[in-house]
């Protein structure tokens, strides 16, 4: 007979989410729901009536982990709506900023996932903050990689977190030759570190994959060979940067996208009847508590060709580089393979960048209200922003962020995994939950009375 267990909150990722799992007598997940319980931001509503220059800056504030992707996707959605082509050097600066952000993001994710894995040849889980080797030098390498990514981002984008340099029509300013050389030197240093770090992580992941069991709390959990497998398909628009509706051959089609309500997708109200006080940290939710994923989920469920899809590093590699490894480990390895791609994207763009080049379009049209969209390959996957701009003001704005796509897909991938490993599957998606929340209106009786649906 199946039982219900709840892990709330899930840890070591951005935002606030929880897992509600229906498990069989062996503890294997029969049906899993992973849902966001981060309060909604409402950025789409805030945007209406604001100027096209303000909105991407507001959109950036939806989250502090991938603000660069949101800024760039927001700006390019505006540019697509007003039909503004930006100068080549501005585009290059954006690619540098984008790749630098992804470099830092992968390194950050390494810190978050390392405690799930074992030092090869031992039964010791890795504590990235331990003062012993080899962990100490790995942690130092990760910190340096983040520093490199953020410093390059600061130079190209003005700020490493909420970049100030990008604007509708291009960039505010180009960099000097000295700054270009500084970024080049940093990227060269990063290239070696990224290669070393990638190799280290792949070794750790392969070792984890070969293990027979894994210890979680007091339980010795057998390792399934198909941990995190799903058959939902992939979506990616570019191996590195992105595309938009002005492109000659857009790689994303808005007509294939639809959105359904969590009401139609997640499980209904149920009582938790299984608990494990030894589960890290502080045990699972107490028996007898009620869970209601349908009502608690703060995201819509976007579908592409009628199905939820996976976005992120593996999707990019599958779509553009012939990668075919499934499961959580395959996903992690795809992410590590992107380390070096980021550095080469930076180096290539720096080679092409002309520091004396123009970085702002002239003139900048003010828009006629037509719909434009831009899809940006954020560290966690395809980040699509859609906008209508008329006379410089935003009339309609929509954000389709990576983790929103991944929520239902990952929920499917939980099936067949021991429940104790569900969080490991979730972390494979490098979730960034807070920006994934959408506009849903709930009345006093907790019923959905309105939701932003596709127009």
Residue-wise DSSP of 137-191:
HHHHHHHHHHHHHHHHHHHHHS-SSS-SSEETTEES-PPPHHHHHHHHHHHHHHH
Q: Is 160 in the site for another protein (CB under 8 A)?
A: yes
Which of 24, 127, 137, 176 is in the footprint of another protein by CB under 8 A? 176
Nearer to another protein, 160 or 309 (CB): 160
Residue 158 beta carbon to another protein: minimum distance, rounded to whole angstroms: 5
Which of 45, 178, 206, 256 is in the footprint of another protein by CB under 8 A? 178
Which of 54, 151, 395, 451 is in the footprint of another protein by CB under 8 A? 151
Which of 119, 135, 179, 360 is in the footprint of another protein by CB under 8 A? 179
DSSP-derived secondary structure letter, 256: G
Q: Is 346 in the site for another protein (CB under 8 A)?
A: no
Give the C-alpha distances (Å, rounded to integers) separating 181 from 328, 344, 359, 363. 38, 15, 18, 31
Considering only residues 30 through 59, tell me which ones interact with another protein, judged by CB under 8 A: none
Which of 13, 180, 388, 438 is in the footprint of another protein by CB under 8 A? 180
Q: Is 143 in the site for another protein (CB under 8 A)?
A: no
Nearer to another protein, 71 or 331 (CB): 71
State how far the Cα of 275 lies from the Cα of 287, in Å rounded to an integer. Answer: 6
Helix, strand, coil share of the chain (percent; to 5): 40, 20, 40
State how far the Cα of 142 lies from the Cα of 136, in Å rounded to an integer. Answer: 10
Binding segment for another protein (CB under 8 A), chosen from 59-67, 173-181, 217-225, 227-235, is 173-181
Residue 263 beta carbon to another protein: minimum distance, rounded to whole angstroms: 42
Q: Is 165 in the site for another protein (CB under 8 A)?
A: yes
The SS3 call for residue 385 is strand
Nearest CA among 266, 314, 338, 318 for reference residue 107:
338
**366: buried, middle or exposed (CB in 10 Å: 19+, 13-18, 0-12)?**
middle
The alpha-helical segments, DSSP class H, found in 38-176 are 43-47, 54-60, 67-82, 88-113, 135-157
State how far the Cα of 132 lies from the Cα of 125, in Å rounded to an integer. Answer: 13
Q: Is 331 in the site for another protein (CB under 8 A)?
A: no
Binding segment for another protein (CB under 8 A), chosen from 40-48, 137-145, 148-156, 339-347, is 148-156
Which helix or strand (DSSP H or E) is residue 400 part of?
Answer: strand 393-400
Length of the chain: 455
Q: Is 360 in the site for another protein (CB under 8 A)?
A: no
Which of 53, 159, 196, 238 is in the footprint of another protein by CB under 8 A? 159
Q: Is 351 in the site for another protein (CB under 8 A)?
A: no
Binding segment for another protein (CB under 8 A), chosen from 112-120, 150-158, 381-389, 445-453, is 150-158
Count of residues near another protein by CB under 8 A: 18
Residue 1 beta carbon to another protein: minimum distance, rounded to whole angstroms: 55
DSSP-derived secondary structure letter, 14: B
In the complex, the residues that contact another protein under the rule CB under 8 A are 151, 154-155, 158-161, 165, 173-176, 178-183
């Amino acid at each position: 007979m199946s039982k219900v267990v709840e892990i709330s909150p899930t840890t070591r990722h951005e935002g606030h989410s929880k897992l509600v799992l229906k498990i069989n007598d062996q503890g294997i997940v029969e049906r899993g729901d992973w849902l966001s319980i981060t309060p909604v931001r409402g950025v789409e509503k805030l945007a209406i009536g604001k100027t096209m220059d303000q909105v991407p800056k507001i959109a950036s504030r939806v989250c502090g982990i991938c603000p660069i992707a949101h800024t760039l996707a927001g700006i390019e959605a505006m540019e697509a709506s007003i039909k503004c082509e930006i100068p080549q050097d501005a585009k290059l600066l954006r690619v540098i900023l984008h790749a630098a952000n992804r470099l830092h993001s992968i390194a950050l994710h390494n810190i978050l996932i390392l405690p799930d894995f074992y030092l090869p040849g031992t039964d010791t889980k890795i504590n990235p903050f331990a003062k012993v080797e080899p962990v100490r030098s790995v942690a130092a390498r990760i910190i340096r990689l983040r520093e490199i990514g953020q410093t390059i981002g600061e130079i190209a984008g003005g700020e490493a977190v909420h970049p100030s340099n990008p604007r509708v029509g291009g960039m505010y300013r180009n960099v000097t030759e000295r700054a270009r050389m500084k970024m080049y030197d940093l990227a060269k240093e990063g290239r070696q570190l990224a290669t070393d770090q990638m190799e280290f992580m792949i070794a750790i992941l392969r070792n984890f994959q070969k293990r027979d069991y894994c210890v979680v709390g007091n339980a010795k959990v057998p390792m399934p060979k198909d941990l995190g497998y799903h058959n939902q398909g992939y979506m990616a628009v570019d191996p590195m940067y992105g595309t938009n509706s002005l492109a000659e051959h857009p790689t994303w089609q808005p007509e294939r996208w639809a959105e359904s309500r969590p009401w139609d997708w997640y499980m209904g109200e149920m009582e938790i009847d299984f608990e494990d006080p030894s589960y890290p940290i502080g045990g699972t939710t107490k028996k007898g508590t009620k869970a209601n994923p349908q009502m608690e989920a703060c995201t819509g469920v976007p579908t592409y060709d009628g199905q939820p899809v996976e976005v992120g590093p593996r999707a990019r590699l599958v779509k553009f580089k012939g990668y075919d490894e499934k499961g959580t480990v395959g996903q992690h390895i795809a992410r590590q393979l992107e380390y070096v791609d980021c550095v080469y994207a930076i180096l290539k763009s720096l080679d092409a960048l002309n520091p004396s080049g123009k970085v702002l379009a002239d003139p900048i049209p003010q828009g006629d209200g037509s719909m434009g969209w831009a899809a940006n390959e954020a560290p966690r996957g395809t980040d699509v922003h859609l906008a209508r701009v008329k006379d410089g003001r935003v009339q309609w704005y929509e954000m389709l962020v990576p983790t929103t796509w991944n929520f239902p897909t990952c929920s499917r991938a939980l099936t067949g995994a021991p429940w104790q490993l569900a969080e490991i599957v979730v972390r494979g998606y490098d979730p960034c939950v807070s920006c994934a929340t959408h506009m849903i209106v709930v009345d006093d009786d907790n019923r959905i009375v309105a939701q932003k649906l596709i127009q």
